[in-house]
Amino acid sequence: MSLTDAVRAHAVNGQGFFAWAAPAVRAQSERPNVIGPRVWLVVGPEGGLVEEEVNVLREVGATAIGLGPWVLRSETAAIAGIALLLNV
């Protein structure tokens, strides 16, 4: 399943977020505004998300979140992203 297919299938199942290492997004320090009990998170590969993937995520209403000034491994980024969304 492609990222586009997966995102479109899950977009109806809650609020979407994606970890993005763009400089303006990485500098964010505030917690994302989570609304409702269901969320989903996309974490890209260690090389980061490409522009086409970011565009697909934005088209379905997903919000970019920054995970700090670091470039994290995918496994670590997933844990950090969930912790951020849960306000841990």
Distance CA 63, CA 17 (A): 5
Task: Read off the pLDDT of residues 21-76 as tens digits, 9 standing for 90 and up.
Answer: 777 666 565 667 777 778 889 998 877 888 999 999 999 889 999 888 788 899 99
Show the tokens assigned to 45.
């590969």
* pLDDT above 70 coverage of the chain, percent: 89
At 26 the pLDDT is 61
Phi, psi of 83 (to 5 degrees): -60, -40
The pTM of this model reads 0.82
Enumerate the domain spans of the chain. Answer: 3-86
For 3-86, CATH gives 3.40.1280.10
